[in-house]
Structure 1
Amino acid sequence: MIRFFPKVFVLVFCAALTAAGLTLCTSSDPICKLQSWLALGRYSAHDALISAAAKKRGLDPLLVKAMVWRESAFDPTKIGTSGERGLMQVGEAAAQDWAKAEKIETFVKTDLFDAKTNLDVGTWYLKRSLDRWKAKENPLPFALAEYNAGHTRVVRWIEATGRGDAATADELLRAMDFPTTRKYIDDITARQRFYQAGEGN
């Protein structure tokens, strides 16, 4: 009987390994799927807060979750190279704009380590950017570029297309001289599609 248990364990282990392999093989993005598994729940720990913040601004929660994944890998204590803080890597200037618009007089930059506050600021900034580019057929790349690189650079890239206000998202992407911003947009839109396929849990 005792000798029987190791064989059962091996069979169960092999079956689990096979099932995991099949799941990865049939996933739209096996690498993202594997990352989600290895995160051991960290990738879903803030789902309720993300959903609430996104809905408050009329945004797709899966887009916001994709941004949090790209910005901080769901680490609310992360500090960026330029001092950005928290889940959505919000800069102090953007946070001050938010505090002024929302009439919050008690805001201090360490508040950005609070997940709820950080998501509120980040989604406010994203919504403002989307509203700025809402006349575009596809405003999302413009808004994400602004979130990542700033409004001034987006305007410069639009001017570089030679098309002015008629510039399309594809033309904007081709005009970018920041490969990291182009990759930032690609990463987030791909991750949003991954979540929309129901594979991010």
Structure 2
Amino acid sequence: MTRSRSAIFVLAVLLVVFFLLNTPLVWKWMYPIKYQQQILSASQRYQVDPHLVLAIIRSESGFQPDRVSKKGAIGLMQVMPDTAEWIIEQAGLKPKGEDYLYDPDMNIQMGTWYLSFLEKRYEGDPVKVIAAYNAGPGKVSSWLAKEQWSGRRETIEDIPFGETRLYVQRVLYYHDRYQKIYTEQLE
């Protein structure tokens, strides 16, 4: 193949890739919605953005309901067992069976209720909510009080915990993607 043919071939491949990546079908394949009914139900019940719930689930478990973290968080939204007990008491939920954290519906209900709790605590600020979901509200409130972090999206790099900093960036990225791809479908 001559040099000009190679250049034309590469350009053609790049154009095809660009076209494919800009079609809704490809974006929906790359960012699927699983457990849509459970997410919509919980997000409506607790007044939480369903795109945020999707982003949390994708970041926490990759939509795998049997996922268990090294720290012991369980299920789609990676709820810690102690936090789950507190949520059940506070929210008045009635889980069925001992393995309720593995149940997608119950896990989504608990995680979404907790997001709603955090939204009330942080006046609806999604960046603080996401940080608190990962590091805990005590840590986030401490960072804010000590002025270690302003709580703004523009200052995510100031979050003292590297894990939380990366988590917030990842969840915001997924949130933005899901919101762009599924604006009408989840309303």
Q: Percent identity?
A: 25
Equivalent residue, structure 1, for 2:53: 64
Please give the alpha-carbon distance, in whole angstroms, between the structure 1 residues aligned to 2:95 and 2:38: 22
Question: Is 2:162 the partner of 1:173?
Answer: no
Of 6, 17, 22, the match for 2:19: 22
What is the CA–CA distance in structure 2 between the aligned matches of 1:60 and 1:162, rounded to whole Å? 28
1:4 — aligned with what?
Answer: none
**1:149 and 2:113 equivalent?**
no
- Structure 2: distance between partners of 1:56 and 1:199: 20
The answer (yes or no) to whether the contact 2:33–2:54 under 8 Å persists in 1 is: no
Query: Which protein shows a greater Rg?
Result: 1
Distance 2:132 2:166 in 1: 14
* Partner residue, 1:6: none
Amino acid in structure 2 at the alignment position of 1:160: K
Q: SS at the partner of 2:110?
A: helix
Q: What secondary structure sits across from 1:197 in the alignment?
A: helix
**2:179 paired residue number:** 196
Give distance in 1, aligned partners of 2:98 and 2:138. Answer: 23
Deviation, 1:171, is 7.6
Q: CA deviation at 1:83?
A: 0.8
Distance 1:60 1:175, change over 3 A: same
Alpha carbons of 1:199 and 1:21: their partners in 2 closer, same or farther (altered >3 Å)? farther
Give the drift of 1:102.
2.9
Query: Which runs of no fewer than 5 residues in structure 2 stay unpaired?
Result: 1-14
**1:94-150 Cα distance to aligned partner (Å, 9 max, x none):** 11111111334666662010000000000111110110010xxx6111111111011
For the 8 Å contact 1:161–1:172, the answer to whether it is kept is no
Q: TM-score, normalised by structure 2?
A: 0.77
Aligned residue pairs total 170
Structure-2 separation of matches of 1:107 and 1:199: 32
Which residue pairs with 1:90 in the alignment? 79
1:94-173, aligned counterparts within 5 Å?
Answer: 94-104=83-93, 110-134=99-123, 139-161=125-147, 167-170=150-153, 173=156
Deviations 1:128-179 (A, max 9, x none): 0110010xxx61111111110112211221133179xxx4425863442212
In structure 2, C-alpha distance between the alignment counterparts of 1:21 and 1:170, rounded to whole Å: 29
**Structure 1 residues 103, 38: closer, same or farther in 2, change over 3 A?**
closer
User: CA 1:162–1:99 in 2, change beyond 3 Å: closer, same or farther?
Assistant: closer
Query: Structure 1-normalised TM-score?
Result: 0.72
Higher alpha-carbon deviation: 167-176 or 91-100: 167-176
Q: Residue type matched to 1:23 in 2?
A: L
Alpha-carbon distance change, 141 to 108 in structure 1, aligned in 2, over 3 angstroms: farther
Kept in 2, the 8 Å contact 1:27–1:199? The answer is: no
Q: State the SS of the aligned residue for 1:44.
A: coil
* 8 Å contact from structure 1 (residues 84, 92) kept in 2: yes
Q: How do 1:2-17 residues align onto structure 2 when only pairs under 5 Å count?
A: none
State the distance in 1 between where 2:98 and 2:60 align: 18
Q: Which runs of 5 or more residues in structure 1 are unaligned?
A: 1-17
